[in-house]
Structure 1
């Protein structure tokens, strides 16, 4: 047995030790893999919980619903409107903490009602390297992180997902739309909708890994540098500019550094 398979067996063993779990399920690469492993380890002693809010694209919610139906997993959709959380809309540096704390408190209550012993979420070893205030809420509420517990990183999760036949193995990384805003800039439902439509357009045009960061009314597009030439084709460039302006953006720019996680954290002076 290879090291990767050993890690997967260790994950299944750890999940079995939890007896029953509620999985915070976003339909992303990590949480889909975790939910699949939990299903294998615990059978019907699991539930999936997905948050529904204006910062969570409808396409992701639809994928979450479809996956749970296909796998025969009990699925709960939890209304979690971040903009109603005191202080969230002002986009403070601990925005993610405020959101995760509220969400996991709701999942904790739901889990108790369903007789579920533990709550688990899908952060992995790579998440330890960036500013992640949401992990503080995970620790405070005693939510478990099996992928970190078993030292699994993103690449290993993708490889194992491919072995398991999961369609998410090559899915683009995703973070909630609120992460597209500069810290301190007010988050509104209107601007979240602009970002959502802009990113959906880029995905529909065939770009794989995308972010549309919003600075006031300016869009800063992040894509893989390998796809710069594709974006700069006159017809594509003009279409993107035209469409994003119709969504409400005044300026449309391309970030020459390309896609990277946590680019809004580059201005923070925070010890990790």
Structure 2
């Protein structure tokens, strides 16, 4: 019943699957620790250039993640131990490699935070997003408010956070919570294909673009532009950038090596 984290590598793309469908892929502390370990290992693997994060489906259909296993929340000895728990949202946000979320079925509470922590979100038609913690007497604690506000705006974020009510895939697309909605049967292929396109790009440039996007959320405009220019200079000095210029001049596809 504790669940596990499955990982399958398809060339330069790694598919990481939350595998506890009988419990809507609700994460236990053990699963959170395994997810952190798996992601850190993939991040250190130079052959992995993009990651897809998804959930194993059950008999009732696709499932992404229902957040933390509520039954395990009372096992912490003190509130301070709860505050310092291994957080799976932090684990996703710490990854340098681009991460695509393939969200089918429920993405609730911490599952919503997991999806928001990914760089790009693709949803199946069955996807439902919610921040239901308020219905149980608390709020999210892994960046839910900040990430939602950046993603869908203050009013829409407040609507989700203050009611706890779910948002379906079409509404999530209209608000900008996801980038694309596809039939459920096409979800993982679509997310994997997108990750493959990202993996075909220069890996240093992709990781730098991700770092730049994250920094842009918290920097004033002038500082963000200067930071981007500095990162551009770093990329421009790489062997991959030289290869890109040569490939352009020779009218061929570039062969990026991550150097």
TM-score (norm 2): 0.29
Relative contact order, higher structure (CA 8 A, sep 6+): 1
